[in-house]
Amino acid sequence: MSDTGTLPIGVFDSGVGGLTVVRALMERLPLESITYFGDTARVPYGVKSVATIEHFTGQITDHLLNQGVKMLIIACNTMAAVASQVVKDKAGSIPVLDVIDAGARTAVLESRSRAIGVIGTPTTVNSNAYARRMHALDGGVRVYSQACPLFVPLVEEGWLEHEVTRLTAQEYLKPVLAENVDTLVLGCTHYPLIKPLVQDVVGPEVRLVDSAITVAEQAARKLAELGIANPGEHLPEYRYTVTDIPLRFQTIGERFLGRSLGRVEKVDW
Ligand code: DGL
């Protein structure tokens, strides 16, 4: 075992939403240290142009690589959709995982009818990244995507069970359900928080794919395969860095993480 094993996994997102991935990683890989970066000053990315997202993603990748990480995980679906190549080019030999690849693989493996729905931000849906990934894995699947821009603010508002969120979900999901999908990918960091509500709206026959959980599974496999899992001689360390600490940051962050956030550092760029 080289020293690489004790380095943290770098996880990043446009804001606090990627903490759903950190939460899944903490549960699946309790010995691993994690360094999280959230671009809270510039969120949301889901409505920004590809060129801007690529530029921001490059800056974050450089920052995490300078800190020293053994693996990078793109927790943000929007960044994964349009800027994963930027990350891979900079990372060199450091493995890069992302929520889109993980979610697409699980959906293709688990769908019986081969009709799959994907929901995400407008940029993620417009990029067609999930459909491209799924078609690369299985040319026969049919993919129906739907942008759900109102979900991010509703989740940040904490309206996880609210009637307004339910009505919004019914409206957004109507066209996807009309295609008789048997699998629905939650293609945005924020959506795992409204999983019970979405499950209720789509009914028990539709399987929901939570990209946070599937990317944590992938990370566990990759660490084992490369022999760089943490030997666990010390307690794991969690570090959170953001570009702004807005009002209600702690409350929202802890809702995503499902536990206390601890110390949060702010970088000045
Ligand atoms: N993190 C983004 C995603 O998963 C959602 C928030 C944003 O629009 O920046 O697509």
pLDDT in tens, 201-224: 999 999 999 999 999 999 999 999
Residues 16 and 74 in one domain: yes
Segment 89-114 shows an average pLDDT of 97
How would residue 135 be classed by pLDDT, with cut points 50, 70 and 90?
very high
How far is Cα 141 from Cα 132, in angstroms, rounded to an integer? 11
In the structure, which protein residues have their CB atom closer than 6 angstroms to any atom of ligand 1?
Answer: 13-15, 17, 43-46, 76-78, 120-121, 124, 152, 188-190
> Which pLDDT belongs to residue 2?
55
Reading phi first (left if > 0) and then psi (alpha if -120 to 50, else beta), residue 232 is in: left
> Which pLDDT belongs to residue 72?
98
* Helix (H) or strand (E) run with residue 97 in it: strand 96-98
Residue 121 CA to ligand 1 centre (angstroms):
7
**Domain, as residue range, for 71:** 2-98+213-266
pLDDT above 60 for 1: no
Segment 178-195 shows an average pLDDT of 97
Residues 124 and 206 in one domain: yes
pLDDT above 90 for 262: no
Residues 121 and 85 in one domain: no
CA 268 remoteness from chain centre: 24
How far is Cα 39 from Cα 97, in angstroms, rounded to an integer? 19
Q: Which of 211, 236, 254 is the C-terminal boundary of a domain? A: 211
Residues 185 and 114 in one domain: yes
Q: Are 185 and 210 in contact (CB under 8 A)?
A: no
Q: Which two tokens stand for residue 68?
A: 């020293």
Residues 92 and 218 in one domain: yes
Residues 8 and 27 in one domain: yes
> Which pLDDT belongs to residue 254?
95
> Which pLDDT belongs to residue 171?
98
Pocket test for ligand 1, best of 21, 78, 99, 154 (most atoms within 8 A of CB): 78
Average pLDDT over the chain reads 96
Q: Which two tokens stand for residue 222?
A: 């990759």
- Report which protein residue has its CA nearest ligand 1's atom 6: 44
Residues 206 and 234 in one domain: no
Pocket test for ligand 1, best of 82, 121, 130, 185 (most atoms within 8 A of CB): 121
- Higher pLDDT: 263 or 147? It is 147
* Helix (H) or strand (E) run with residue 26 in it: helix 19-28
How far is Cα 245 from Cα 257, in angstroms, rounded to an integer? 16
> Which pLDDT belongs to residue 247?
80
* Residues designated as active site: 76, 188
pLDDT above 90 for 53: yes
